[in-house]
């Protein structure tokens, strides 16, 4: 769904069929829905956090030169398996830049957000991060919505009643598989990756 520039600058309004699942009454007794008319302080804090999250995600990526330069061996290892690419901070950075050129950077952003969520132990923070992830990447009103099947979406909606650090595990695996099968092969044959391989070959020749 296309979203114009003016609409993209506003937090998505919640329709009846796409509203996020109700918050647990025990945690937020005054917010039994995510309607925009809710004026309680919790809802206002959530909306402010959404704006900060969106502004942070729109910051430009650092250039490859600003990141730790991977060794020629590390660059070559990325072609051995997608797992090795994703376990490399430099590899994720380069792959994310490639995804941006294909207009699918949201897949990596979602995967990284899920990793951050799984490392969180504070339940209050888990609740907030889970809802931000839902708004940013699962809601059909979001310009950064990732592609998930109906089964996974239904599972997320149920789990959002009581968010946990593993609420998005199934969705994260689905997006990981999508990047592996769809984007990763094109990345390996892209000018970006080929340039890194050539640079590594030149360095090895010079050292020899």
Please compute the mean of the pLDDT values over residues 170-195 and round it to a whole number.
Answer: 97
What local confidence, expressed as pLDDT, does residue 27 receive?
A: 47
Q: How far apart are CA 117 and CA 65, in angstroms?
A: 28
Helix boundaries (H) for 28-168: 41-57, 72-77, 82-86, 89-101, 105-118, 123-133, 150-159
Query: Per residue in 84-96, pLDDT tens?
Result: 999 999 999 999 9
Number of Cβ within a 10 Å radius of residue 178: 17
Residues 6 or more apart whose Cβ sits within 8 Å of residue 202:
none
- Among 4-8, 19-23, 49-53, 65-69, the range with the most confident prediction by mean pLDDT is 65-69
Q: Which residue has the higher pLDDT, 75 or 40?
A: 75
Q: Across the chain, what does the average pLDDT equal?
A: 79
Domain of residue 181, residue span: 73-199
Residue 94 lies in a domain: yes
Helices and strands (H and E) in the chain: how many: 11, 0
Q: Which residue has the higher pLDDT, 11 or 76?
A: 76
Q: Is the pLDDT of residue 4 over 60?
A: no
Residue 58 lies in a domain: no
Query: What is the three-class DSSP state of 194?
Result: helix
**98 touches 90 (CB < 8 A):** no
Residue 37 lies in a domain: no
CATH at residue 169? 1.10.167.10
Query: Per residue in 104-150, pLDDT tens?
Result: 999 999 999 999 999 999 999 999 999 999 999 999 999 999 999 99
Residue 166 lies in a domain: yes
Number of Cβ within a 10 Å radius of residue 100: 15
Q: Is the pLDDT of residue 189 over 90?
A: yes
Residue 155 lies in a domain: yes
Q: Which residue has the higher pLDDT, 113 or 27?
A: 113
DSSP string for residues in 117-158: HHT---HHHHHHHHHHHIIIIISTT-TT-----HHHHHHHHH
Backbone angles phi, psi at 62, to 5 degrees: -70, 150
Residue 47 lies in a domain: no
Q: Is the pLDDT of residue 61 over 60?
A: no
What local confidence, expressed as pLDDT, does residue 199 receive?
A: 87
Closest CA to 23 of 37, 34, 12, 35: 34
pLDDT bin (cut points 50, 70, 90) of residue 187 is very high
What is the total count of domains within the chain? 1
Both tokens assigned to 39:
């004026």
pLDDT bin (cut points 50, 70, 90) of residue 30 is very low
What local confidence, expressed as pLDDT, does residue 39 receive?
A: 41
pLDDT bin (cut points 50, 70, 90) of residue 45 is low
Both tokens assigned to 89:
């901070």
Residue 101 lies in a domain: yes
Q: Which residue has the higher pLDDT, 2 or 195?
A: 195
The model's pTM is: 0.68
Half-sphere exposure of 184 (CA within 13 A, CB side): 19
Residue 149 lies in a domain: yes
- State what percent of residues in the chain have pLDDT above 70: 64
Q: How far apart are CA 168 and CA 183, in angstroms?
A: 21
Report residue 63 CA to chain centroid gap.
19
**111 touches 85 (CB < 8 A):** no
């Amino acid at each position: 769904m296309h979203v114009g520039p003016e609409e993209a600058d506003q937090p998505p309004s919640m329709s009846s069929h796409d509203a996020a699942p109700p918050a647990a009454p025990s945690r937020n007794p005054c917010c039994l829905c995510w309607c925009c008319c809710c004026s309680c302080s919790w809802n206002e804090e959530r909306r402010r956090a959404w704006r900060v999250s969106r502004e942070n995600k729109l910051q430009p990526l650092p250039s490859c030169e600003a990141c730790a330069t991977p060794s020629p061996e590390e660059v070559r290892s990325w072609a051995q398996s997608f797992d090795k690419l994703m376990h490399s901070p430099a590899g994720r950075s380069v792959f994310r830049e490639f995804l941006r050129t294909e207009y699918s950077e949201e897949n990596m952003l979602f995967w990284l957000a899920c990793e951050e969520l799984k490392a969180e132990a504070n339940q209050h923070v888990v609740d907030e991060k889970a809802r931000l992830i839902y708004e940013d990447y699962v809601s059909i009103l979001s310009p950064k919505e990732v592609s998930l099947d109906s089964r996974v979406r239904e599972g997320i909606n149920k789990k959002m009643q009581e968010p946990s650090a593993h609420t998005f595990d199934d969705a994260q695996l689905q997006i990981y598989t999508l990047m592996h099968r769809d984007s990763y092969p094109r990345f390996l044959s892209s000018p970006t990756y080929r340039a890194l391989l050539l640079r590594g070959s030149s360095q090895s020749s010079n050292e020899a």
